[in-house]
Structure 1
Amino acid sequence: MTEAHEPLRSAWDTTKEDPGKWAQKRRLADAMRLVIERLVSSDAPEDELRRAADALERYGDALEAHPRLRFVHGYAESANAGDVSAFFDRSPMIGLANPLAPPITIAKTGERTAEARAVFSSAYEGPPGHVHGGFVAAAFDEVLGFVQSLSGRPGMTGTLIVRYRRPTPLHTELRFTAAYVRSEGRRLYTEARVHAGDVLCAEAEGVFVSIARERFEALEAERAAREAERAR
C-alpha cells in the first residue's frame, strides 16, 4: 500500500509553462466542486440562488469571450495514453482542473499494480447516503484504464463487469486496488476492488482493446477540427 497519492506528472505537463494560470484553473475547479456539493443539499432562499445563478451566467459569458485552447493538452483518460505519467487535468474522473471530477488520485504501486483514493460528495448520490452505481463503474473504468496503461499500450474499454457487494458510502475515503493481469493479442485484462475501510464494496474486471497510435491520432485530428469549427 502506498502512503502518498499525489497525481502523477509528465515531462510535458503544461502547468510548468504557465504554473500561475493552471494553479488558478485548479483552484476554480475546486471552488466549483464546493458549490456543487453545497448546492445539492442547500435550502438557500430564492433571491440568493437567483443572484448566484446570474453571477455564474455572467462568468460563463466572460469565459466564452476568451480564446479557446489552440491545442487540447493531454488526455481525458489514462487508458488512451498508454503512459501513466501523461497529463490528465481535463479528465472527468481524475482531472484537477475539471470540476466534474471527484477527483480520484492514483499511484503506481508495482510493475502491474496501482492504488487509487477518492471521496465522493453528495453530488454523486444514488441510494440514500451512498454513491450512484454508475459513478462507481466510471471510477473502476478509470482505475482499470490506468493499470492497463502499465502495459505501455494505449487502449479503449471493450468490456467492463462490475459486481456490487455492498453499498459504497459517500463522504468516505474509498481505496481502489487494481492490477494489469495479462494480455491476449490486442486484449488487455485487468481487475480491481474498492474498499471503504475494511468493507469490500465492489469488484470489477475490465478487458481493454489495444488501439494503434494512428487511430488515436486520427481521433485527435477530428477533435481539433470540431474545436476549430466551434471557435468560429
Structure 2
Amino acid sequence: MRRAADSVRSVIDRMFATKAPEDALADVTALVSQAAAILARYPRSRPFEGFPEAANAGDPHAFFDHSPFAGRANPLAPPIEMEIKDQTVVGRVHYGAAYEGPPGSVHGGHIAAAFDEVLGMAQSLGGQPGMTGTLTIRYRKPTPLKTALRIEAGIDRIEGRKTFTTGAMYAGDLLTAEAEAVFIRVDMARIAELMAGRLAE
C-alpha cells in the first residue's frame, strides 16, 4: 500500500501546477479513473487495532501508516517520519508543491497539523494519552517547500489530566515555527469504544 500511496502522492505533486496540454490531461484522467475502478472492486474497510491519530493510535502501525498528516500509506500525507530520542520525538518531513501557502513556503495549516501529530506522539510518552485541548503556533519564519524539515517535541509538564507539550520546527538550523499544546487525558473505555466502532465499519 505504501508504494501505491507514493505513486498517488507523486501524481498530486505533479498535478498541482502542471503545464500539460489537454490531451495529456485526458490521458491522466483515464489512467486515474482506471486506478479508482480497480480499488472499487475491493472492500473499503481495513482491519487494524487503532486509528490514525498520534495521541491515541492504539497499534502504532495504524497511526504511522494511515494518518492523514503523517501516514506513509495515506497519499494525502507528506508523510512525516518519526522517531523517539530520549523522551523527545523527532519528526522529519518534506513538503512538495501541493502544500504551498505563501510563495515557496508551506501553508500554515499544514504546519499546525504537523505539530498536532508530533506533539501528540510526544504527549503519549507521559503515560496518559489524551486529545488535543489547545494548540498554539508561532510562525517565526516562512517554512520553505522542497526542503528537509525537522520537528522536535517533548513534554513540558503534567498537571492532573493535562499534559503540556512544546515543539519547534527547523529548516536546517533555521527556526521557522514553534508550538505549545495541551492534551487532556481521556477515558480509555471511550477510546476502546471508538476503536470498536471503527473496526465494525
Question: Which category describes the TM-score, using the shorter chain as reference length?
Answer: over 0.9
1:161-215 CA distance string (max 9 Å, x none): 0000111000011111111111111111100000111211010000001112111
CA contact 1:82–1:155 (8 Å) conserved in 2: no
Q: Secondary structure of the residue that 2:40 maps to in structure 1?
A: helix
**Residue 58 of structure 1: which of 31, 34, 41 is its match?**
34
Q: Secondary structure of the residue that 2:30 maps to in structure 1?
A: helix
- Number of aligned residues: 200
Matched, 1:125 2:100: yes
Cα separation, 2, equivalents of 1:82 and 1:187: 20
User: 1:192 maps to which residue?
Assistant: 167
Amino acid at match of 2:78: P
Point out where structure 2 has 5 or more consecutive residues left out of the alignment.
Answer: none
**Residue 196 of structure 2: which of 221, 227, 232 is its match?**
221
Q: How does 1:115-154 map to 2 (within 5 A)?
A: 115-154=90-129
Point out where structure 1 has 5 or more consecutive residues left out of the alignment.
Answer: 1-24, 228-232
Report which of the two has the higher share of strand. 2
Stretch of structure 1 that moved more, 181-190 or 74-83: 74-83
Q: How does 1:76-95 map to 2 (within 5 A)?
A: 76-81=52-57, 85-88=60-63, 89-95=65-71
Query: Taking every aligned residue pair, what percent have the same amino acid on both sides?
Result: 51
Amino acid at match of 1:201: T
Amino acid at match of 1:106: M
Distance 1:86 1:70, change over 3 A: closer
Distance 1:159 1:200, change over 3 A: same
Give the structure-1-normalised TM-score.
Answer: 0.81
Cα separation, 2, equivalents of 1:198 and 1:30: 28
Q: Secondary structure of the residue that 1:117 maps to in structure 2?
A: strand
Cα separation, 1, equivalents of 2:45 and 2:66: 12
Cα separation, 2, equivalents of 1:104 and 1:65: 30
Q: How does 1:42-53 map to 2 (within 5 A)?
A: 42-53=18-29
Computed over aligned residues only, the root mean square deviation of the Cα atoms, in angstroms, reads: 1.6
Q: Secondary structure of the residue that 1:126 maps to in structure 2?
A: coil
User: 1:16 maps to which residue?
Assistant: none
Cα separation, 2, equivalents of 1:97 and 1:26: 4
Cα separation, 2, equivalents of 1:119 and 1:212: 35
Stretch of structure 1 that moved more, 134-143 or 63-72: 63-72
Amino acid at match of 1:207: V
Give the ranges of 4+ consecutive aligned residues of structure 1 lying more than 4 Å apart after TM superposition. none
**Residue 113 of structure 1: which of 88, 93, 99 is its match?**
88
User: 1:100 maps to which residue?
Assistant: 76
CA contact 1:75–1:86 (8 Å) conserved in 2: no
Shift of 1:37: 0.7
User: 2:138 maps to which residue?
Assistant: 163
Cα separation, 2, equivalents of 1:100 and 1:70: 17
Give the structure-2-normalised TM-score.
Answer: 0.93
Cα separation, 2, equivalents of 1:61 and 1:82: 32
Matched, 1:201 2:167: no
